[in-house]
Amino acid sequence: MSACAARDIALFPLHAVLFPGGVLALRVFEPRYMEMSKACLRDDTAFGVCLIREGAEVGAPALPAQVGCLARITQWDMPQLGVLQLTTRGERRFRIRERRVQGDGLARAVVELLPDDGDAEPPQRFARCARLLKRVIEENEVHHIEPPFRFDSSAWVSARLAEILPLPLQAKQKLLELDSGLERLEILHALLARNGLAGSP
């Protein structure tokens, strides 16, 4: 699938990497992000999650990575006044084309949606990756991975492994930037093999 036309979105730079289909819980209290969240809920729109390249999550606007992931709010709660608890789900990846900062400190960007990874089935040589992921979900009850579980999709399996493996954020970011789920899975398979986790079933 080719890249889509540009769209204007709000940005939420974080010390986290969100993948399509992933689940991300957020605790929102800064006024700029409270207003952003209200607008997204009111208009049924998504915002962009980007890894922070420079800066912090709170305070002055941080410099985000160029590639991020759209996040749509699926659940929300306000356990106390001025604090919003969000559950979001990753949608499409995007690349920032133009970025600006509003007067309230909220960053917005014109972004280009990137191609979907597709639904290629993992080749047999990577089947152990899918089995490892399935075992982790079953044994550890990983609640932040939501069904449907798509163990027959290279894009889904590679994204979920990238989320749960203890990789540096910059490594997760590089995996997010790959257009091919198969390529991402190949890298993760090699990493697991080096650590003795992708051997015999």
Angle at 176 between CA 182 and CA 152, to 5 degrees: 35
C-alpha–C-alpha distance, residues 79 and 97, integer Å: 36
**Model confidence over 11-30: pLDDT tens digits?**
999 999 999 999 999 999 99
C-alpha–C-alpha distance, residues 130 and 92, integer Å: 22
Cβ–Cβ < 8 Å for 57, 13: yes
What is the model's pTM?
0.90
Cβ–Cβ < 8 Å for 99, 113: no
| Residue 5: both structure tokens together | 């036309």
CA of 200: how far to CAs of 132, 136, 150, 165, 183, in Å?
Answer: 11, 16, 22, 19, 22
Could you read off the pLDDT tens digit of each residue along the chain, which spans 201 residues? Answer: 445 668 999 999 999 999 999 999 999 999 999 999 999 999 999 999 999 999 888 878 889 999 999 999 999 999 899 899 999 999 999 999 999 999 999 999 999 999 876 678 888 888 889 888 998 888 876 668 888 899 999 999 999 999 999 999 999 999 999 999 999 999 999 998 887 665 444
Question: What are the chain's domains?
Answer: 6-113 (2.30.130.40), 124-194 (1.10.4060.10)
Helices 181-194 + 127-140 axis angle, to 10: 70
